Structure formats: C-alpha cells, structure tokens
Amino acid sequence: MKVSFYFSLILGITFLTLRFIGLFLDLTYNNLLLALGLFLLLGVSLPLYLYERYRYRQKMNEIIQDHQIKGSKAKSSEKKPGSYKKKIQEYPSFRNQKQGLKWGGGNIHGSAATRGSKRSFLKK
C-alpha cells in the first residue's frame, strides 16, 4: 500500500515537473502531462494517503481499547500478599515491541560482559 502511494506520488510530481519544463520548451504533450500528473496526485495518491491514515487511526483506537480493558481488569483484581502482579504501563505503546533480553556494549558479547569492560581501552 505504501509502495503504491509513494510510486504514484513520485510519478505525479514527475509528470507535473515535465509539464512545467514543457511550458518553456514547447513540448507537444503538455496537456497530457498535466492531466496525468493531476490524476496521479489527486486521483491515486490522495485516496491512498487518506485510507492509510484511516487504517492507522483504527489501529491506534484498537490498541487504546485493549489497553483500557487490560487496565480495568488489573485494577479490579485484588492483589493477594505473596502473589506476583505484572506491572502495567500507564500509556499503551503504539509500536511493535520485541520481547527478550537486550545486550548492549558494542562488540562485547552478553556472556563475556562485565561491569566497566566498555571503557577498558581508556585505562591504558
């Protein structure tokens, strides 16, 4: 969907640019270039953009509703002493989050990581 949006946008701008250049060089198909450029921009790119924004808003609304449902379930359940309760975020995340442990530190592998090993080259 995004590829077709960008493709039609680029082609529409290209046709309008060629039409603008054609005004000075007296190209034979100036009216056709204008019509194709406007059709691609207004007839194809604009509806694709509006549809993409609609889908994005639907996705955000769905995430917010899921977050509100999970939040209300967690608030309604009583916490017993000694039970583990998962920490719930106050705000939902709108991006896909990857699960798992993340290791930082450049070239240091996770199994060999120790405190201060990132700055060991400065201690020479």
At residue 49, the pLDDT reads: 92
Q: CA 37: distance to chain centroid?
A: 27
Which one-letter DSSP state was computed for residue 109? -
Dig out the tokens for 74 from the structure: 């967690």
| pTM > 0.75: yes or no | no
At residue 63, the pLDDT reads: 84
What are the helix (H) ranges across the chain? 2-25, 30-38, 46-76
> 39 and 7 in contact (C-beta within 8 Å)?
no
Give CA–CA dist 14/34, Å, rounded.
Answer: 10
Most confident of 2-6, 36-40, 85-89, 107-111: 36-40
State pLDDT tens for residues 61-115: 888 888 777 766 656 555 555 555 555 556 666 666 655 555 554 555 555 555 5
Query: Within 10 Å of residue 83's Cβ, how many Cβ atoms?
Result: 8
Band (pLDDT 50/70/90 cuts) for residue 51 is very high
State pLDDT tens for residues 10-24: 999 998 998 998 888
Contacts for 82 with CB less than 8 Å, ≥ 6 apart:
none
At residue 66, the pLDDT reads: 83
